[in-house]
């Protein structure tokens, strides 16, 4: 099967607060999110969106409810995964409905999309549990004929930033041991 082109928008690090006036480093995070959604809708509407972590800075249900309302404007599936500032249980409880998804994988247009949870409660850093790694391996093996895109919040390689590199996935070798077995993995985002 030849995969069809997909227009995927990635929205990440929105850092919303329960307080509608919450700011991060002086930025009104709600205003920034709305501007990003407006831009996505006005330029090239996506086929789907991946919301790849640090969605709520304070991890509160109120922040996730605002995300839920904002994401509904997109009118396409939004796949949500937690980052280090998210409260994973609250994220999954509040960002799940007809268009908001918390699945580990999806097959869309001849593509396999895999969504990994690299968050560690109470930690800035990333880690892929044995459960996440096993799910990755199983999904890639079961869909070996499909080109795959793998998404996670924490980067699996150091990028040369003293700040960001402290939060990289701490077991990237185990991750790449799996990735390297499957030639159809096209990107890690």
Q: How far apart are CA 141 and CA 184, in angstroms?
A: 10
pLDDT at 144: 93
pLDDT tens digits, 95-139: 988 898 988 999 999 999 999 999 998 889 999 999 999 999 999
pLDDT at 142: 97
Q: Specify the fold of 1-102.
A: Purple Acid Phosphatase; chain A, domain 2 (3.60.21)
Q: For 186, list phi and psi in degrees, rounded to 5.
A: -95, -30
Binning pLDDT at 50, 70 and 90, where does residue 23 land? confident
- Cβ-count burial 53-92 (b if 16+ within 10 Å, e if not): bbbbbbbbebbbebbbebbeebebbbbbbbbbbbbbebbb
- Rounded mean pLDDT of 19-33? 88
Q: How far apart are CA 79 and CA 111, in angstroms?
A: 15
Superfamily of domain 103-189: GpdQ, beta-strand dimerisation domain (3.30.750.180)
Residue with the two structure tokens 């690090």: 13
Query: How large a percentage of the chain has pLDDT more than 70?
Result: 99
Q: How many CB atoms lie within 10 A of CB 181?
A: 12
In the predicted structure, residue 2 carries a pLDDT above the cut 80 = no
pLDDT tens digits, 163-173: 888 889 999 99
Domain locations along the chain: 1-102, 103-189
Asked, colleague to colleague, whether 1-102 and 103-189 share their fold, the answer is: no
69: its two tokens: 């309302």
pLDDT at 1: 64
Q: How many CB atoms lie within 10 A of CB 27?
A: 11
3-state helix/strand/coil string of 112-150: EEEECCCCCCCCCCECCCHHHHHHHHHHHHHCCCCCEEE
Is 169:152 a contact under the CB 8 Å cutoff? yes
pLDDT tens digits, 30-55: 999 999 999 999 988 899 999 998 99
Nearest-Å Rg of the Cα atoms of the chain is 16
pLDDT at 88: 87
């Amino acid at each position: 099967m030849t995969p069809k082109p997909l227009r995927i928008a990635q929205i990440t690090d929105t850092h919303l607060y329960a307080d509608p006036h919450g700011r991060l480093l002086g930025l009104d995070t709600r205003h920034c999110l709305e501007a990003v959604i407006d831009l996505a809708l006005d330029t090239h509407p996506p086929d789907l969106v991946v919301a790849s972590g640090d969605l709520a800075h304070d991890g509160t249900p109120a922040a996730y409810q605002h995300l839920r309302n904002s994401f509904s404007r997109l009118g396409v599936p939004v796949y949500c995964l937690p980052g280090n500032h998210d409260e994973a249980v609250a994220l999954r409880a509040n960002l799940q409905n007809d268009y908001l998804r918390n699945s580990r994988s999806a097959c869309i247009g001849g593509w396999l999309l895999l969504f990994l949870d690299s968050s560690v409660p109470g930690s800035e850093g990333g880690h892929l549990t044995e459960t996440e790694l096993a799910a990755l391996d199983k999904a890639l093996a079961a869909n070996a004929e499909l080109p795959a895109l793998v998404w996670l919040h924490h980067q699996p390689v150091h990028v040369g930033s003293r700040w960001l590199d402290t939060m990289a996935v701490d077991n990237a070798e185990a991750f790449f041991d799996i990735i390297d077995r499957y030639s159809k993995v096209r990107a890690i985002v």
